[in-house]
Amino acid sequence: MSAIYSYACKDCEGLETCSGEVKAATEDEVWKLMELHAVIAHGEDPSSWDDETRQYLGTLIKSG
């Protein structure tokens, strides 16, 4: 059985009211879905995320 990776926006500081959540077979796919969600739901430009932001977001990705 392979791992499932997930990210829930509500786990991110300041986004506790967001119901966005993604699940995928790979961590890379979760990142792509997180970035798409950020664009659509929050009007963010993921290309502007600095290394510190990406490191923090990476800690919020769960596997199981």
The tens digit of pLDDT for each residue in 1-58 reads: 578 999 999 999 999 999 999 999 999 999 999 999 999 999 999 999 999 999 999 9
* Alpha-carbon gap, residue 51 to 54, rounded angstroms: 5
Question: Is residue 64 very low, low, confident or very high in pLDDT (cuts 50, 70, 90)?
Answer: confident
Q: What total of structural domains would you count in the chain?
A: 1
Structural domain of residue 40, as residue ranges?
Answer: 5-63
Mean pLDDT score, 55-64: 96
- Reduced to 3 states (helix: H, G, I; strand: E, B; else coil), residue 20 is coil
pLDDT of residue 1: 54
